[in-house]
Chains A and B, each alone.
Chain A
Amino acid sequence: GQQVMQIPQYQHVQEGEDFTTYCNSSTTLSNIQWYKQRPGGHPVFLIQLVKSGEVKKQKRLTFQFGEAKKNSSLHITATQTTDVGTYFCAVRGSQGNLIFGKGTKLSVKP
């Protein structure tokens, strides 16, 4: 079935440093979604990418969808302590459900 690999599993950064997490699929994706889960919280939708090569920005967050629609990345510029949490990508499964990557856990040292 559909799977998506997400790397790295963990990332520790100093406040102010940049952060990037990547999702890769062996098959072409119709779209990809990104979610953020704060410690002790629940996943919250960030964005959906649909078009080949699409780039979307939300303040310090930049989301990219690869030209072949097989990979995606989330980049955070100048991390802040409020960015702490786990970031998940999610892709559509064969039955219309979402399949989540295992997530990248970001910790930010002040």
Chain B
Amino acid sequence: NAGVTQTPKFQVLKTGQSMTLQCAQDMNHNSMYWYRQDPGMGLRLIYYSASEGTTDKGEVPNGYNVSRLNKREFSLRLESAAPSQTSVYFCASSSLGRGTRTDTQYFGPGTRLTVL
């Protein structure tokens, strides 16, 4: 099992460009998450999807959109990138479903994004 995979690993964008970060998991998990990590800020939740077909905003959703394409895949889109979105982006998944207890989150390797 590959666990959680993310593409690309690195990306450089110019201000105003758009891009989609891809995430897939092969653990049959219900829930998937997108975080951004900035120095001194820890991990901040952007969006999450508790189950296929549902998405919810996290702590810092502005400037991002997500799509839960199917149970395996959860993508994050930047429509018009800004320098403030320079960060490391992590996708994670867990077996947590609605009404269940928190479960372990498994993280992908991350995407290092720079917006010039």
Chain A positions within 8 Å of B, measured between CB atoms, are 6, 9, 30-31, 33, 35, 41-45, 48, 88, 90, 92, 95-103
In the complex, A100 Cα to B90 Cα: how many Å? 13
Question: Chain B residues with Cβ under 8 A from A35's Cβ?
Answer: 105
State whether A33 and B102 are in contact (beta carbons under 8 Å apart), knowing that A43-B90, A96-B96, A97-B58 are contacts in the complex: yes
Contacting pair B42 A102 (CB below 8 A): yes
Q: How far is the CB of B114 from chain A (nearest CB, A)?
A: 16
B76 proximal to A (CB < 8 A): no
B101 CB contacts on chain A under 8 angstroms: 30-31, 92
Query: CA separation between A95 and B110, bound complex, in Å?
Result: 24
A68 to B33, CA, bound (A): 30
Q: Which of B45, B100, B110 is A99 in contact with, Cβ under 8 Å?
A: B45
Q: How far is the CB of A54 from chain B (nearest CB, A)?
A: 15
Name which residue of chain B comes closest to A96, CB basis: B96
Interface size grouping (class) on chain B: 20 to 34
Which residues on the A side are within 8 Å of B43 (C-beta)?
43, 88, 100
Smallest CB separation, A48 vs chain B (Å): 7
A residues near B45, Cβ cutoff 8 Å:
97-99
- Whole-angstrom CA separation of A6 from B92 in the bound complex: 22
Is A42's CB under 8 angstroms from B50's CB? no
Contact call B90/A42, Cβ cutoff below 8 A: yes
Supplied contacts A33-B102, A45-B106, A97-B45, 11 more A-B pairs, CB within 8 Å: A42-B109, A45-B105, A48-B104, A90-B105, A92-B101, A92-B102, A95-B56, A96-B31, A97-B33, A97-B58, A100-B35
CB-CB under 8 A from A44, the residues of chain B are 107
- State whether the Cβ of B2 lies closer than 8 Å to any Cβ in chain A: no
- Known contacts: A42-B90, A42-B109, A97-B58. The answer to whether A103 contacts B104 by CB under 8 A is no
Interface check B53, CB cutoff 8 A: no
Which 3 pairs of residues, A with B, have the shortest CB-CB distance? Answer: A102-B42, A42-B107, A100-B43
